[in-house]
Chain A
Amino acid sequence: MDLIQPLIVQGAQMFLALALAPALIGFVRKVKAQLLRRRGPPILQPYRDLIRLLRKDVVLADNASWLFRAAPYMVFAGTWVAAALVPTFASGLMFSWSADLVAIIALLGSARFFLALAGLDVGTSFGGIGSSREVMIASLAEPALIVIVFTMALLAGSTQLSTIASFMASNDVGIRISLGMALIALLIVALAENARIPVDNPATHLELTMVHEAMVLEYSGRHLALMEFAAWLQLLLYLSLIGCMFAPWGLTTASTNPGGYLVGLAAYILKLIAGGMVLGLFEVVIAKMRVFRVPEFVGVALMLALLATLLRYVSSSQ
């Protein structure tokens, strides 16, 4: 009994991430459509897309290697494990000792590595340009993310998400400029990593602007389903990460009664809805940037994160 119950809760968290990711992307699309006074597809449309893609046959290019076929599984597995490690409705779960921010960044980084390789594998020009742009953005976004983690770790004394969440929920945080800067930097990194609008447009197939779509252009059938699903999971991961680090309210700890889990779940879903609405609104009011402007935009995140670390040392005197 000591073992079963935590395992069930941990498993529930893993499958909750899986179950909610398509709904989240459907919700964001719905919000954007409504803001543009369109009716938009139903929120459940991404689930139907997944089922449709899974039923279809895979069309492979003649010169595709084993890597091209293996990459979707690697990308999906890496992203899912990372998404399952982030505390969604409860922290301090069974595997929370492994829910380390550095580990999560490494998992996402290896998923991106396989994605970029898969884009290069078939040898079409779109895949190549998509991979090169993705790596260019990542080479700035990842250091920024690591410096953000560094700042949070300096403040909370640990890189474990459960510890950070409980530190942020406690009263001795205060209003700190470092935290504000880290939050803005994390938002920029999240936009860049998830290929959202100022960096990449998730809704077009216009070859001059796309980054993520260009890499998965050659995929079809179940491979495409996994690639898309991994991208949606990554969006959910970033929203959960922001929620659990900067808005840890309603997050329950492990050993409470089932009622506590329900409250945590309701708070989590509210956070996702709020995050989805803010994202939709932001994407509607802002224009896509030129690709050459993106390094400056993501560079701002890196700069803010560095500044947050610096200012943390100013306030260390108290």
Chain B
Amino acid sequence: MRHDLFFDVAHLLAGGLVLMSFLMLYQDRLYALINVFAGHAIVLTLSVAWQAYVQDAPHLYVTAFIALGFKAIIIPIALHRIVERLGIHREIETVLNIGLTMLGGIGLVALSVVVMLRVAPGGDPLAREDLAFALSVVLLGLLMMVSRRNAVSQVIGFMSLENGLILAATGAKGMPLVVEISVAFSVLIAFIVIGIFLFRIRERFDTVDIQALDSFRGEIE
């Protein structure tokens, strides 16, 4: 019974993370997208903290704390500022039909579930399902990156992809803390680099719409 409760709550939180990924795909305004991303990070924090409690692994609390501090507070605030300074907070993006994107997302979730159930039939169900959910979050982050034209939302897609990686790492027992901290810092550095790039792109092309780059390269006449 006690194990069932552990299992159910872990399942609930990991599923909630997948749900938040879908909510991010649904948003078409940047501020709403950033807020949902903060929610994504909070769910990740809860999930990691629950794993720390279940596995009795104190170093996972550090991971949860990093997720909360960096991804739920610092990065969303910084993104809000960037969007404000770029003056693109009113932009609505329509790249692909949202319904089609959602359907594609469901296909990706189905794919990751099928893959995980096939690959690890005899594994520990908790770890296996965590991996299935983590794989879906990663794939949904990739989908977000390919389906958006705005550079800021591509950054958010990248960050949510990284949340999926953390979820996978906490599900598998024995991931060293050093690796997690270095991943967290590399993401932060990537964020800074991308942030600088955003301003460079804007300076050069007067927009952060990635399609402008394509036309500059002569791919779209």
Chain A: residues with CB nearer than 8 A to chain B? Answer: 174-178, 180-181, 295-296, 299-300, 303-304, 306-307, 310-311, 313-315, 317-318
Contact = CB atoms under 8 A, between A and B. Distances in A.
B12 interface: yes
B129 interface: yes
Interface stretch (B71-79, B101-109, B155-163, B177-185): B101-109
Judged by DSSP, the binding face of B is helix
Interface stretch (B2-10, B59-67, B141-149, B197-205): B2-10
B106 A303 contact: yes
A296 B12 contact: no
Contact of B117 (A174, A181, A296, A314): A314
A318 B126 CA distance: 9
Interface of B: 4-5, 7-9, 11-12, 14-16, 18-19, 22, 26, 98-99, 102-103, 105-106, 109-110, 113, 117, 125, 128-129, 132-133
Top 8 A-B pairs ranked by shortest CB distance?
A177-B15, A175-B8, A174-B8, A299-B99, A303-B102, A177-B12, A317-B125, A296-B98
B12 A318 contact: no
A214 B14 CA distance: 43
A314 B102 contact: no
Contact of A307 (B14, B99, B109, B125): B109
A81 B32 CA distance: 43
A239 to B, nearest CB: 24
B13 to A, nearest CB: 9
A296 B113 contact: no
Contacts of B12: 175-177, 180
A28 B14 CA distance: 36
Given A174-B8, A175-B8, A310 B99 contact: no
10 contacts: A176-B11, A177-B12, A177-B19, A295-B99, A303-B103, A311-B113, A313-B117, A317-B117, A318-B4, A318-B125
Given A177-B11, A296-B98, A296-B99, A307 B22 contact: yes
Contacts of B117: 313-314, 317
Nearest to A181: B19
A295 B129 CA distance: 32
Contact of A175 (B9, B22, B113): B9
Contacts of A174: 4-5, 8
A307 B4 contact: no
A81 to B, nearest CB: 33
Given A310-B109, A311-B15, A300 B8 contact: no
Interface SS, A side: helix
Most buried by B among A175, A181, A295, A304: A175
B132 A314 contact: yes
A87 to B, nearest CB: 26
Nearest to A306: B106
B18 A307 contact: yes
A96 B105 CA distance: 38
Nearest to A308: B15
Given A175-B12, A177-B15, A303-B102, A310 B125 contact: no
B106 A314 contact: no
Nearest to A180: B12
Contacts of B109: 307, 310
A300 B24 CA distance: 12
A300 B102 contact: yes
A82 to B, nearest CB: 29
A311 B11 CA distance: 10
Nearest to A295: B99
B113 A310 contact: yes
A252 to B, nearest CB: 27
A299 B104 CA distance: 13
A14 to B, nearest CB: 38
Given A176-B8, A181-B19, A318-B4, 19 more contacts: A175-B11, A180-B16, A295-B99, A300-B26, A300-B102, A303-B103, A303-B105, A303-B106, A307-B18, A307-B22, A307-B109, A310-B110, A311-B18, A311-B113, A314-B129, A314-B133, A317-B128, A318-B7, A318-B125
A307 B18 CA distance: 10
Contacts of A314: 11, 113, 117, 129, 132-133
A174 B12 CA distance: 10
